[in-house]
Amino acid sequence: MKKHFRNFLPGTAAYVIAHAEYSLSRRRNPSIPFRTEKNPIKALALAQAVFGGSSWKVSLVDTSHPVDYSKAEIPPTYKCGQCGAKRVKLWREYQTFLNHQTLRCAHCAAINQKKDISKIDANGMRPSRGGKTDQIGWYIPAVPTEENDSYWGYTSVPQNGCEWWRKLPTLPERVVIYTTQCVKNLHTGKSFTFEVPQQTIEYFEMQKGLVETGQAPMLGSVEKLTTIYEFSFFPAYKELLKIWTSNGFTTELIVQILADFGVTQPFIYKLLEDDKFISDVQPWFEGITCDGERASRTLKVVYDTVKSYFSPTGKSEWEFFTNFP
């Protein structure tokens, strides 16, 4: 590539962008400031924003979500650009500047680079001709800076950054599609389907086997066990787990739960105005935290309470919705 940037006046956005493109062609990162922005990566972003021709299609950095290496926090920008996998180790192209990069999970990097990762370990290392390596072809570990404004060069990653990366799962979790048997959509009466980690389902099947053969009476009946699991697959379950020992009942949370169960909006509003419904479910929203079974049970109470609004007259749910005053 020619030194195209020489066609532009130094200090202009066009100059900064053209200079960055030239640097890229030489396998170098952008290196010049723009206006008051000294950080070259941010300077380029600013120049592109000013120029209007931003090519930052997928942002790989987000300074509003800095990374604390001591915590298992993962910024929202840290996801596989190919399959969308999150909460997993990612790799990035070696010596390619940020603007042209795609973060990839091990699977996607392996496909892209035609490399075998069948023996990759928990530290993200795999055997190669030159010994164990954390590289997948031209892909190197993607470790964001603590400011989350860039990614560390291969040899410059600080120790705590390495540890942060190593602690992430190496491969995306295998998920299976689970169709509910006990919990049904309160509006349509149909089963729900969820993407559930395969491990969770294996554990559930194992427990179910124990109950069926009478080896684990403390787990209750198969039906009870199944409903506990099924309620734990709803998005609202994660919200319930956040409740500390105080009263965790909020309108937002109950709206989410009802919506999760398929309750339609007009009926959600009716329920919110119904003092009996509120007083029936409210006590179940206290001190749920870290207790998955309790959270499941709270969802079950809401579910059963809403259902009781349908059943007394034996009317079908659909009829009830359409006839609700």
Residues at the site binding Zn ion, with contacts judged by CB under 5 A: 80, 82-83, 85, 105, 108
CB of 74 to Zn ion, least distance (A): 15
Rg value, the chain, Cα: 26
CB of 117 to Zn ion, least distance (A): 12
Which residues are 196's β-sheet partners?
A: 176
CB of 102 to Zn ion, least distance (A): 10
The conformation of residue 26, written as its DSSP 8-state character, comes to T
Nearest CB to Zn ion, comparing residues 114 and 129: 114
What does the block give as tokens for 189? 């009466």
CB of 108 to Zn ion, least distance (A): 3
Nearest CB to Zn ion, comparing residues 84 and 127: 84
CB of 104 to Zn ion, least distance (A): 6
CA 313 to chain centre: 43
- 149-182 burial, b at 16+ Cβ within 10 Å, e below that, comes to bbbbeeeebeeebbebbbebebebeeeeebebeb
Nearest CB to Zn ion, comparing residues 24 and 136: 136
Tokens 């940020």 sit on residue:
98
Q: Angle at CA 81, nearest 5°, toward 77 and 85?
A: 80
Helical H runs in the chain?
13-25, 40-51, 106-113, 159-167, 198-212, 222-232, 235-241, 251-260, 265-273, 275-281, 292-308, 317-323
Nearest CB to Zn ion, comparing residues 139 and 285: 139
CB of 90 to Zn ion, least distance (A): 8
Nearest CB to Zn ion, comparing residues 111 and 125: 111
Nearest CB to Zn ion, comparing residues 109 and 257: 109
Nearest CB to Zn ion, comparing residues 17 and 108: 108
CB of 79 to Zn ion, least distance (A): 9
User: What is the dihedral sign for C-alpha 45, 5, 142, 136?
Assistant: positive
